[in-house]
Amino acid sequence: MIRIQNLSKQYDAGMVRALKDVSLAISKGEVCSIMGPSGSGKSTLLNMIGTLDKPTSGKIFIDGRPLESVPEARYRNRTVGFIFQLHNLLPNITLVENVELPLVARRDINRRQRLDRAMKLLSEVGVAHRASFYPVQVSVGERQRAAVARALVNHPEILLADEPTGSVDSSTATLIMDAILRRREGQDMTVLIVTHNPDIAKRTGRVIYMCDGRLHIESGLTAQARD
């Protein structure tokens, strides 16, 4: 599903090397977590796959196609969902309107279908009763659960989650992971989660360790290391 080939990312005219010649393959339907110290390149890698940033060199392939050849708007609306650590909900619209946002540009889904899909997901993550509330009117955990619903509403083939449970308590973290894994099973979704939480990593099929912009991969029964 995702193939990364010799990916590098530099900032500040090459003074900062966030990624260093990273190569990785992730199969369709696989659930992987990425762990490592702060500044190891975890979020940078996720941002590259999500087209939130562009590599300095190297390639990313999605279903065999170079990512740069895929129309960015279509990719974000139909292929990928993104969960941010700090939810990134728009403050001036309600939770259900935030969840609907990824579907607004979709001509194949009408307003009633958008609302139905958004409400179903809010129900799955346990905040349907807050649908008409604004983000400032609900708790941090409820905002993050709404952000999970928003990332899943377009039925993405790939879900990218950057510390999705980093700002919530353990019970909410469990609920969020339950929702992600339940959706993954239902639609064969590929999931990549950046986390510092070993309990979250244990629920994934493969743990990818990063350090200093490079990969050190330990994958269940098929451990290997890259220098």
The residue among 7, 31, 4 whose CA lies nearest residue 17 is: 7
Three-class SS of 40-60:
CCHHHHHHHHCCCCCCCEEEE
Least confident of 166-170, 189-193, 196-200, 205-209: 166-170
How far is Cα 128 from Cα 92, in angstroms, rounded to an integer?
18
CATH number 3.40.50.10490 given to 2-218: no
Q: Measured between alpha carbons, how far apart are the two ends of the chain, in Å?
A: 24
Instruction: Please say if the pLDDT value at position 163 is more than 50.
Output: yes
> How high is the pLDDT of residue 224?
37
| Residue 64 region by backbone torsions, left for phi larger than 0, else alpha for psi between -120 and 50, else beta | left
Counting Cβ atoms within 10 Å, is residue 168 exposed (0-12), middle (13-18) or buried (19+)? Answer: buried
Instruction: Please say if the pLDDT value at position 114 is more than 70.
Output: yes
How far is Cα 143 from Cα 75, in angstroms, rounded to an integer?
25
Query: pTM to 2 decimals?
Result: 0.90
Q: Are strands 80-83 and 158-162 parallel, antiparallel or unpaired?
A: parallel
User: Contact at 8 Å (CB) between 225 and 217?
Assistant: yes
The residue among 72, 77, 83, 67 whose CA lies nearest residue 1 is: 67
Least confident of 59-63, 90-94, 158-162, 216-220: 216-220
